[in-house]
A and B are shown apart, each in its own frame.
Chain A
Amino acid sequence: MKKNKNGALEFSFAWIFAIIAGLFIIFLAIYGVTKFIGLENAAGNAESAKDIGVLMNPLESSFEALKRTMMTTPVETRIYTTCSNNSLFGEQTIRTSQKVYNKWSDEGVDVAFQNKYIFSKDPVDGKNFYLFSESFEVPFKVADLIYLTSASDKYCFLNSPNDVEQEIKALKGSIISPNENFFLFTNSVDCPDGSIKVCFKRGVRNCPIEVYTQSNFVVKDGKTMYYQGNALMYAAIFSNKEDYECQLDRLMGRAEELYKIYVEKSKFVFMKTGCDSGMGADLILLSNVMKNFQNSNDLSQIYSMSSDINTQNGNSECRLW
């Protein structure tokens, strides 16, 4: 590089070549590093999603009901839970996104589980999350429903019936945690600021979640979700209508297969020992009812039929469940 006679800057070919090649290398390096960081973030998000799913294993098949577990993440995390019911058992997918430099990273890849049923706000974010489970039975246990809430989402249960109150108290435990997110009150003015009100009594203003325990339905965001039993009531409270109906459909799919297994078992035990449960026809009937499940409106019929078959099973010499 030198100045010519007129004082203008003159570049030799070597300089121009070096600058172009240097820029190309720098551009490639920056592009590569950016891609690599993105890949690392995606891998980290996928790992944490799988980790969350795996950590939920102890919550399933547990005999310890009404126990809440806290899950703490190293950085603020957003958990997305999606339900799909396209296959026989459907899928529960989890993906996460983490807060890096005050900005949410891109969502990681979907990690799918066929044996999990998570009910939560979508997405749910925070650093501390509470998890608890309750079993879903029709009339035998079909699955453990997992409820995921963030400690930063406060739920204020207003005028809850005695059984719900006892369950919430048991979940809260005797030690008051600064991260507590479940509150029980009779008057809405006592609810913490910004809390989500869950009303069991009519007439409370600005109530986003209303539970009608006599008629067994929950109204959330103006949408009605029918339930039977407290396990499904909590499911309706913590999730949205689309996810709730989708998870119910998946649960009925699993119940249908379990009914088929009990039909096989009934035949098998009869052939082996001569002990007849006498429920073969009813089991097939219920399996078909599960197969034709449409939406939560069908629950009352299913529960009534499953209650009858449970009585038969209890009286049988060879119980199936």
Chain B
Amino acid sequence: MVNKINNYIIRKKAQMKIQQMSFMIIAVFLFLAMVGMMVITVKMADLKNSATALEEQNAMLLVTKLANSPEFSCGDTFGTARTDCIDEDKLMALKANIDKYSNFWGVTSIQIIRIYPPKANPLIRDVECTSTNYPKCNIIKLMSSSSTSFDKSNYVALCRKERYQDQFVNRCEIARLVVGYKKVQ
């Protein structure tokens, strides 16, 4: 009888030990998993920040050079070659074909805002350029996206051909070229 009781107690003790160990192992496993997940979360956040920083760098470097790219630049249209000069007539032609360029520059939005000469009344809303109201407008939206989080801009010359007293003249104004990019989620 005593032997039976002793065996029973030993068995119970062994079961308790196994249970203890199982709980311990599960606890260690969960702890390691949590640490791992924390490390991964921090690393992912770092990666997203670096990706956004690269997008920002791309937009920054692009905005300084975009005006000189073949789709925008004045070339020799208005006499001699000029840097940071956008051909407004070409821009309107590009606007008509812009869907083909949606991923071309790797940015989410591109717009050109005419800033000089200023609007007659600063309270008047910006007027987007279309083929019907051009050039009596002050903003050309080439590409626009709701996902744009940040933007970078640069000042450019905006030139076009005009007819003045039976002569064809070049008219240049000052504009701001704005390039938008999105935050990597």
Contacts and interface: CB of A to CB of B under 8 A. Distances in A.
Interface of A: 12-14, 17-18, 21-22, 25, 29, 32, 36, 40, 43, 47, 50-51, 54-55, 57-58, 60-63, 88-89, 113-115, 140-143, 254, 257-258, 260-262, 264-265, 268-269, 272-275, 317-321
Main secondary structure of the interface of B (DSSP, over half): helix
Given A62-B65, A321-B76, A260 B97 contact: yes
Contact of B73 (A54, A141, A269): A141
9 contacts: A60-B69, A115-B104, A141-B73, A261-B90, A262-B93, A264-B97, A272-B163, A319-B77, A321-B77
B32 A115 contact: no
Given A60-B65, A258-B71, A268-B92, A47 B54 contact: yes
A57 B29 contact: no
Given A17-B21, A32-B36, A61-B65, A47 B50 contact: yes
B45 interface: no
A253 to B, nearest CB: 10
A32 B47 CA distance: 18
Nearest to A140: B75
Given A61-B69, A257-B97, A318 B168 contact: yes
A89 B97 contact: no
A261 B96 CA distance: 9
A50 B47 CA distance: 13
B148 interface: no
Give 9 nearest A-B pairs by CB, closest first. A264-B93, A57-B61, A61-B68, A265-B93, A61-B65, A321-B75, A273-B163, A61-B69, A21-B25
B161 interface: yes
Most buried by B among A114, A257, A265: A265
Contacts of B81: 63
Q: How large is the interface on B (under 10, 10 to 19, 20 to 34, 35 or more residues)?
A: 35 or more
B103 interface: yes
Given A261-B90, A275-B161, 14 more contacts: A18-B21, A47-B51, A58-B61, A63-B83, A115-B104, A141-B73, A143-B70, A262-B90, A264-B93, A265-B92, A265-B93, A268-B131, A269-B161, A272-B161
B111 interface: no
Contacts of B131: 268
A200 to B, nearest CB: 30
Contacts of B61: 54-55, 57-58
